[in-house]
């Protein structure tokens, strides 16, 4: 494997590229890959059918792969199911793509997820309490990858995000807080592009999927700032996860299957209290230096409002699967922001931190997606660059 061209400390963070790559490879990536397969972490509750508050729906993407396959009820662990559920028909076992009604009991939160609260997140726009419109999706059956969603609809979302809500600040003269919002979004955008390139429909006629290295190079690798922002976002989210370690370590990951639930608990502890991580990169991002000075509280409200707008924009993503992953990852970022920056600008006393179950699912799945992208960039970046750079 060729060496990475990125070295030194990741901008605005506290760890080196080499350390991040090593920790990701050895510790984070393997544990996260296992974690997201567990029952607790693979079902995400989302409101997928929603009106865009900003402009009328303008048509969808052309591939069948755009649509989300909703969970059939029998797929869920026992405590999630409706009490009167009896025999299964063969169709129940098939992924029910495009099915309008969810087969799951929408009150399962109170039954299967005891111990999790419904508290508002000031950074996001999602209304998690509106159970009637929510659906459960098995994330493992709906991977983030190429969907064919492109053109003016997709472009309009990214343009609205960047121009209205987090413009690229040209230099350090702008405050660090606003730069950080831009970098978080840019890092997420890089990660989405890496996943599109890593799992791409190369030939529609034969349904051949594979890597599109030109796409990965053009959209991410040839822009060092986009690679740097990906690492930044990864470290930012990692910091949030480790900062909430006490809370997350004690939370209930109960899905009614004691063996699997113990595994989830143990994987979480492995990630949260990892001695190698604590020794090599104890504070991946130093949030304590933000929101200082007398304008701090106002600035925070302004950035919070911008992020909420970005969260609302996810309802305008015109491709169901992209909307699912867009919502999940923006909720994950909003959860990281909530953990790192309390509402009133003070440090969170640990015991006051409260997270929704869905926020934790989003946070850990986002960390996993970022970890995958960092791994792909680290492992494939140098060879793709030498192929593409030489052309």
Under the binding rule (CB under 6 A), the answer on residue 149 touching ligand FAD is yes
Neighbours of 93 (CB within 10 A): 11
Q: Tell me whether residue 248 or residue 322 sits nearer to ligand FAD (CB atom).
A: 322
Q: Which of residues 151-170 bind ligand FAD (CB under 6 A)?
A: 154-155, 157-158
Distance CA 381, CA 117 (A): 42
The CB-of-224 to ligand FAD minimum distance in angstroms stands at 11
Residue from the set 48, 71, 103, 192 that interacts with ligand FAD by CB under 6 A: 192
Under the binding rule (CB under 6 A), the answer on residue 6 touching ligand FAD is no
Q: Which of residues 312-371 bind ligand FAD (CB under 6 A)?
A: 317, 321-322, 325-326
Residue from the set 146, 247, 253, 291 that interacts with ligand FAD by CB under 6 A: 146
The CB-of-168 to ligand FAD minimum distance in angstroms stands at 7
Per the annotation, does 147 bind a ligand? yes
Q: Tell me whether residue 115 or residue 151 sits nearer to ligand FAD (CB atom).
A: 151
Tokens representing residue 223 in the block:
């822009």
Nearest to 47 by CA among 337, 354, 326, 338: 326
- Angle subtended by helix axes 357-389 and 224-243, to nearest 10: 150
- Angle subtended by helix axes 320-340 and 357-389, to nearest 10: 110
The CB-of-359 to ligand FAD minimum distance in angstroms stands at 18
Per the annotation, does 110 bind a ligand? no
Under the binding rule (CB under 6 A), the answer on residue 226 touching ligand FAD is yes
Distance CA 325, CA 68 (A): 10
- Token look-up 């459960």 returns 136
Per the annotation, does 219 bind a ligand? yes
Per the annotation, does 323 bind a ligand? no
Q: Candidates 48-56, 190-198, 233-241, 288-296 — which segment interacts with ligand FAD by CB under 6 A?
A: 190-198
Per the annotation, does 223 bind a ligand? no
Distance CA 145, CA 377 (A): 16
Which of 61, 66, 281, 322 is flagged as catalytic? Answer: 322
Task: Check: CB of residue 334 under 8 Å from CB of residue 122.
Answer: no
Residue from the set 38, 67, 147, 368 that interacts with ligand FAD by CB under 6 A: 147
The CB-of-383 to ligand FAD minimum distance in angstroms stands at 21
Strand partners, 201: 209
Nearest to 284 by CA among 20, 106, 3, 7: 20
Binding residue count for ligand FAD, defined by CB under 6 A: 22
Instruction: Tell me, yes or no, if 322 is annotated catalytic.
Output: yes
Distance CA 303, CA 165 (A): 9
Q: Is 175 left (phi over 0), alpha (psi -120 to 50) or beta?
A: beta
The CB-of-312 to ligand FAD minimum distance in angstroms stands at 12
Tokens representing residue 203 in the block:
């030939």
Q: Give Cα 277 distance to the centre of its chain.
A: 21
Under the binding rule (CB under 6 A), the answer on residue 190 touching ligand FAD is yes
Q: Tell me whether residue 42 or residue 327 sits nearer to ligand FAD (CB atom).
A: 327
Per the annotation, does 145 bind a ligand? yes
Nearest to 53 by CA among 305, 307, 316: 316
Q: What is the DSSP string of 120-185?
A: --TT----TT-GGG-EEEEGGGS--------SHHHHHHHHIIIIIISPPP-STTS-HHHHHHHHHH
The CB-of-181 to ligand FAD minimum distance in angstroms stands at 12
Residue from the set 45, 81, 179, 219 that interacts with ligand FAD by CB under 6 A: 219
Residues serving a catalytic function are 319, 322
* Interacting residues toward ligand FAD by CB under 6 A: 144, 146-147, 149-150, 154-155, 157-158, 186, 189-190, 192-193, 196, 219, 226, 317, 321-322, 325-326
Q: Which residues carry a binding-site annotation for FAD?
A: 145, 147, 158, 186, 189, 219
């Amino acid at each position: 494997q060729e060496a990475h061209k990125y070295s030194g400390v990741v901008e605005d963070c506290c760890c080196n590229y080499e350390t991040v790559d090593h920790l990701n490879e050895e510790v984070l990536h393997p544990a996260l890959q296992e974690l997201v397969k567990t029952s607790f972490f693979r079902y995400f509750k989302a409101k997928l059918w929603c009106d865009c508050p900003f402009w009328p729906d303008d048509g969808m993407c052309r591939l069948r792969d755009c649509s989300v396959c909703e969970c059939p009820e029998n797929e869920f662990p026992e405590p999630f199911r409706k009490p009167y559920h009896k025999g299964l028909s063969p169709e129940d076992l098939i992924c029910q793509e495009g099915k309008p009604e969810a087969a799951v009991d929408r009150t399962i939160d109170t039954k299967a997820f005891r111990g999790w609260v419904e508290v508002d997140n000031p950074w996001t726009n999602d209304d998690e309490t509106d159970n009637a419109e929510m659906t459960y999706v098995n994330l493992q059956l709906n991977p983030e990858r190429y969907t064919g969603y492109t053109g003016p609809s997709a472009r309009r979302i990214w343009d609205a995000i960047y121009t209205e809500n987090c413009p690229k600040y040209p230099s350090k003269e702008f405050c660090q807080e606003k730069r950080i919002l831009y970098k978080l979004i840019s890092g997420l955008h890089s990660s989405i592009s890496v996943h599109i390139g890593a799992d791409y429909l190369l030939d529609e006629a034969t349904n051949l999927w594979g890597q599109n290295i030109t796409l990965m190079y053009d959209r991410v690798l040839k822009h060092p700032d986009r690679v740097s922002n990906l690492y930044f976002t990864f470290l930012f989210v990692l910091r949030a996860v480790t900062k909430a370690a006490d809370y997350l370590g004690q939370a209930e990951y109960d899905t009614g299957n004691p063996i699997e639930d113990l595994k989830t608990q143990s994987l979480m502890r492995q990630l949260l209290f990892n001695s190698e991580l604590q020794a090599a990169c104890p504070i991946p991002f130093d949030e304590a230096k933000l929101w200082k000075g007398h304008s701090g509280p106002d600035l925070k409200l302004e950035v919070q409002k911008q992020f909420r707008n970005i969260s609302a924009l996810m309802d305008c993503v015109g491709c169901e699967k992209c909307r699912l992953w867009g919502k999940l990852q923006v909720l994950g970022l909003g959860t990281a922001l909530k953990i790192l920056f309390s509402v009133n600008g003070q440090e969170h006393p640990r015991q006051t931190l409260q997270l929704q179950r869905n926020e934790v699912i989003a946070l850990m799945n986002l960390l996993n997606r970022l970890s995958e992208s960092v791994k792909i960039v680290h492992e494939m970046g140098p060879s793709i660059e030498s192929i593409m750079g030489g052309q």
